[in-house]
Each structure stands twice: as C-alpha cells, then as structure tokens.
Amino acid sequence: MSVRVSSLSVFPPVRRDRVIAKLPQCFRREAALHVEDEFSGKVRTACQEQRTGTVGFKISKVIVVGDLAVGKTCLINRFCKDVFDKNYKATIGVDFEMERFEVLGVPFSLQLWDTAGQERFKCIASTYYRGAQVVIIAFDLNDIASLGHARQWLEDALKENDPTSVQLFLVGTKKDLSSPAQYSRIEQDALKFASDIRAEYWAVSSLTGENVSEFFFRVAALAFETNVLAELERSGTRQIGDVVRINSASGDLSAASKKKPSSCCQ
Ligand SMILES: Nc1nc2c(ncn2[C@@H]2O[C@H](COP(=O)(O)OP(=O)(O)OP(=O)(O)O)[C@@H](O)[C@H]2O)c(=O)[nH]1
Ligand SMILES: [Mg+2]
C-alpha cells in the first residue's frame, strides 16, 4: 500500500490558493530563467510516480535584498498576508515568513527572508544570507539609483552562497507610481542588467497587488523544479544502504527561529 507523504504531514493542508498545477509563465522572455511552457517532463513524471524523495520535506530559503525603502517588506506582506502599509517602517536586521505550496501534488515550502536595506543594519542582515537557494534583488522602478545599486546587493548575497546554484530574480517595485513612458525607460535598463547577471526580471506593485502572486508562484515553481531535478540526479547515483538526510536549504533550522537581533551594527 502506498501512503502519500502529504497525508502524514503534521502541518495543516496547503491553502487552496497555494496549489500550483501548471508552470507559471515568466514576465519577460528576454530576461527569464527559462521560457518553457511546462514543467520539465522528468519532473512531471517523478511527481506522478511519487519519486521526489526528500523534496516534499524541503524548505527552500529565499532572501530578498535591495536598497532601503524600495518595498521589500511590502512585497512579502502583500503576498503572505494580503495587506499593504503606506507608512514606512524600516526593517531592523531581518524577518521571515513561511509559505507552504503544493506543486504538482508535492508539498513544498519557501522561507522568505526579508532583510534590511538600511546601511546601519546591513551587517546584521548579511549574516542571514547564507544557504539561500533563491536571491531576489528588489529595486524601485521610480528610482534609477536603486537599480544601479543592484549589482552591489548581488555581490554581497553571492559572497555567502554558491553562485552556481543560486536562482536570481530582479524585481522592480512600485509599478503603480510610474507612468508608462517612465516605466518603459527603466525597463530597458532593468532587462539589460537582468540578462547580464542571468536573473529573471519582474515588475510588481504591492499597493495594487499587480503581479505579486504571479511572481511568487513563479519563484516557488522554479525552486521546486530545480530541487526535483537535483533529487533525481542524486537518487540516480545513490547506493542501496546509503543514509538519506533531510535538510532545509539553509542547512540550519535553528537559524529559522523568529528571534531578531537585539542590536544594530553601529
Ligand atoms: N505606491 C507604492 N508604495 C509602495 C509600494 N511598495 C512599498 N511602498 C512604500 O514604500 C515605502 C517603503 O516600503 P518598505 O516595504 O518598508 O521598504 P523596504 O524595502 O522593506 O525598506 P527597508 O526595510 O528599510 O529595507 C513604504 O512607505 C511603502 O508604503 C508600492 O508597490 N507602491
Ligand atoms: Mg523592510
């Protein structure tokens, strides 16, 4: 008798609006991690045959970095809590939210780390960059300087991670504030930069909610696909009698405690 892992889970069932049955599409084909219409055939078959190994227990770490006040916290809060706060409250150090999905019938979780953009809190925040599977660099579509700083944010994030295995997203925020002409000017630069660093580009508004869910669904789907492919590769080389360890992407679940650092860097 086969028992589905999800039915043994101690977690409540995944919300109906977090179920991903088809590959969410990219925002711009010019700057996408890939442009396939569907999940890879290998991944679909593995999910159907319940050969996804430890992926169903996995928590993938996602970090969101970028200049102060570009809207990182608002982006996460719009997706996770469906709220928007027009008052700016600087993030001190880091915060995180867990989001549970079901992708092709397999449970999959993202741990979304919201980091501080303010210089004085950056040294606290950067200690939490390690173990990220996904790096989201946010910039303000109405502030070209914040796009200019994206390269530095990328370098800082990659210092703590394996650059070859991280999936990158470049996200322009506050789309509601830019006129179509302004928007298309900055989009040119953003697309160029995104394809330069091999990131997938998105433009969102946390105020209106435009593209916010689509964006996070895409992140979850691509992170999931990568995990399943890696698992298939591993299981292909695994020997009978090998010990299978269940790891979070961060490799350190103790770091996931809600505790915030009590002091800043200055
Ligand atoms: N109009 C508009 N304002 C936004 C949007 N997203 C964020 N804001 C505003 O921008 C300000 C900064 O937003 P936050 O999300 O706190 O910025 P942050 O990047 O988390 O800032 P730090 O924590 O200091 O790094 C707030 O006043 C938000 O209300 C948006 O999509 N549209
Ligand atoms: Mg913040």
- Give residue 118 CA to ligand 1 midpoint distance, Å: 13
- Give residue 140 CA to ligand 1 midpoint distance, Å: 9
Does some domain include residue 225?
Answer: yes
C-alpha–C-alpha distance, residues 213 and 150, integer Å: 23
CA distances from 50 to 194, 228, 241 (A): 35, 11, 20
C-alpha–C-alpha distance, residues 65 and 51, integer Å: 34
SS3 125: helix
Does some domain include residue 190?
Answer: yes
Here the CATH number for the domain that contains residue 152 is 3.40.50.300
Does some domain include residue 245?
Answer: no
Lowest-pLDDT range, 1-5, 25-29, 158-162?
1-5
Residue 2 pLDDT greater than 50, yes or no? no
Does some domain include residue 241?
Answer: no
Quick count: other Cβ atoms within 10 Å of Cβ 64? 28
Ligand 1 atom nearest the C-alpha of 117 is 25
Residue 30 pLDDT greater than 90, yes or no? yes
Quick count: other Cβ atoms within 10 Å of Cβ 40? 15
Give the per-residue pLDDT at 13: 80
Average pLDDT, the chain: 89
Residue 9 pLDDT greater than 80, yes or no? no
Token digits for 115? Answer: 């980091």
Does some domain include residue 4?
Answer: no
Give the per-residue pLDDT at 236: 80
Domain span including residue 167? 23-44+54-232
Q: How many residues does the chain have?
A: 266
Q: Which residues line ligand 1 (CB under 6 A)?
A: 68-74, 85-88, 90-91, 116-118, 173-174, 176-177, 205-207
CB 172, CB 144: distance < 8 Å: no
SS3 201: strand
Our count of domains for the chain comes to 1
Give Cβ neighbours of residue 243 (< 8 Å, ≥ 6 apart).
Answer: none
Does some domain include residue 165?
Answer: yes
Query: pTM here?
Result: 0.88
Quick count: other Cβ atoms within 10 Å of Cβ 49? 8
C-alpha–C-alpha distance, residues 161 and 62, integer Å: 12
Query: Pairing state of beta strands 94-103 and 106-115?
Result: antiparallel
CB 116, CB 65: distance < 8 Å: no
Lowest-pLDDT range, 8-12, 30-34, 203-207, 225-229?
8-12
Mutational test site, ligand 1, from 64, 73, 115, max ligand atoms within 8 Å of CB? 73
Phi-psi region of 198 (alpha: psi -120 to 50; beta: other; left: phi over 0): left
Ligand 1 atom nearest the C-alpha of 205 is 31
Residues paired with 172 in a beta bridge: 139, 203
Does some domain include residue 5?
Answer: no
C-alpha–C-alpha distance, residues 89 and 109, integer Å: 27
Does some domain include residue 261?
Answer: no
Classify each residue of 21-34 as buried b or exposed e, where b means 16 or more C-beta atoms within 10 Å of its C-beta.
eebbebbbeebbbe
Sign of CA dihedral 128, 250, 73, 138: positive
Give the per-residue pLDDT at 235: 85
* pLDDT: which is higher, 4 or 167: 167
Residue 266 pLDDT greater than 80, yes or no? no
The closest of 207, 201, 203 to 180, measured between CA atoms, is 203
pLDDT, one tens digit per residue, over 50-91 is 999 999 888 999 999 999 999 999 999 999 999 999 999 999
Q: Residues with Cβ within 5 Å of ion ligand 2?
A: 72-73, 91
Q: Is the ipTM of this complex over 0.90?
A: yes
Residue 195 pLDDT greater than 60, yes or no? yes
